[in-house]
């Protein structure tokens, strides 16, 4: 082995040993300070920190998406249940007509110029239009 190669080899080995010693010393000091400085945290706070944002997201989704939709469905149900004979309705299919008969879960409506009678389910009604009383 030539002199320079031998010298370079020992230099690399010595350098690696110094780095290992440095890393070991750093890891030991970090472990000692971390063990001394970390206070005991209750499991409730850990749970809150981990799952708090997720719970907050679901609460916001409820108030932004679900609650307004339920309110709208409730208003639509009340509107359909308060419909009486003579009211005009618009179905979800776009058919308009005048209510001429009401059963449990069905309306019979009159639609078109020929006064065609159509029986529809109450869930198929999109809007109830009350006649203007004079």
Higher pLDDT, 6 or 90: 90
The predicted model scores a pTM of 0.55
33 in any annotated domain:
no
Q: Apex CA 101: angle with CA 78 and CA 95, to 5°? A: 75
Query: Does pLDDT of 38 surpass 80?
Result: no
Confidence of residue 34 (pLDDT cuts 50, 70, 90): very low
Q: For residues 28 and 34, what is the distance between their CA atoms, to the nearest angstrom?
A: 10
Are 12 and 43 members of one domain? yes
7 and 51 inside one domain? yes
- Give domain status of residue 22, yes or no: yes
Q: Is the pLDDT of residue 10 over 70?
A: no
Summarised one tens digit per residue, pLDDT across range 59-99 is 999 999 999 999 999 999 999 999 999 999 999 999 999 99
Instruction: Tell whether 13 and 69 lie within a shared domain.
Output: yes
Tell me, yes or no, whether 8 lies in a domain. yes
Say how many domains are in the chain: 2
Could you tell me if 97 and 60 lie in one domain? Answer: no
**20 and 44 fall within a common domain:** yes
Note whether 124 and 89 are same-domain residues.
Answer: yes
Range of the domain at 95: 84-129
Do 70 and 108 have their domain in common? Answer: no
The answer on 110 and 60 residing in a single domain is no
Mark whether 21 and 58 lie in a shared domain. yes
The answer as to whether 34 is a domain residue is no
* Range of weakest confidence among 34-43, 89-98, 121-130: 34-43
């Amino acid at each position: 082995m030539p002199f320079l190669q031998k010298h370079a080899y020992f230099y690399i080995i010595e350098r690696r040993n110094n780095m290992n010693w440095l890393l070991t010393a750093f890891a030991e000091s970090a472990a000692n300070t971390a063990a001394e400085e970390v206070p005991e945290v209750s499991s409730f706070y850990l749970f809150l920190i981990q799952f708090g944002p997720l719970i907050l997201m679901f609460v916001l989704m409820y108030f932004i998406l679900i609650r307004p939709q339920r309110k709208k469905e409730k208003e639509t149900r009340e509107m359909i249940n308060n419909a009486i004979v003579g009211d005009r309705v618009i179905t979800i299919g776009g058919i308009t007509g005048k209510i001429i008969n009401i059963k449990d879960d069905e309306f019979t409506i009159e639609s078109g110029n020929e006064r065609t009678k159509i029986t529809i389910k109450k869930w198929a009604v999109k809007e109830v239009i009350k006649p203007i009383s004079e």
